[in-house]
Amino acid sequence: MEFARKMMIVAAAMALTLSTAQAAPGSASLYDQLGQEPGITGVIDTFIGIVAADARINHFFANANIARLKTLLVLQVGMASGGPQKYTGRDMKSAHAGMGIREADFNALAEDLYRAMDRSDVPFRLQQRLMAVLAAAEPAIVSQ
Binding footprint of other proteins on the chain (CB under 8 A): 2, 6, 9-10, 13-14, 16-18, 20-23, 102-105, 107-108, 110-111, 114, 124-125, 128-129, 131-133, 135-136, 138-139
3-state secondary structure of 87: coil
Q: Toward other proteins, which CB reaches closer, 49 or 139? A: 139
Q: Are 114 and 127 in contact (CB under 8 A)?
A: yes
Using CA atoms, how far residue 91 sits from 21, 48, 57, 75, in Å, is 33, 20, 21, 13
- Dihedral pair phi/psi, residue 101, rounded to 5°: -80, 125
Q: Toward other proteins, which CB reaches closer, 72 or 110? A: 110
Q: Tell me how far, at minimum, the Cβ of 28 lies from other proteins, in Å.
A: 15
Q: Tell me how far, at minimum, the Cβ of 68 lies from other proteins, in Å.
A: 27
Angle at CA of residue 90, ends 107 and 105, nearest 5°: 15
Q: Tell me how far, at minimum, the Cβ of 71 lies from other proteins, in Å.
A: 25
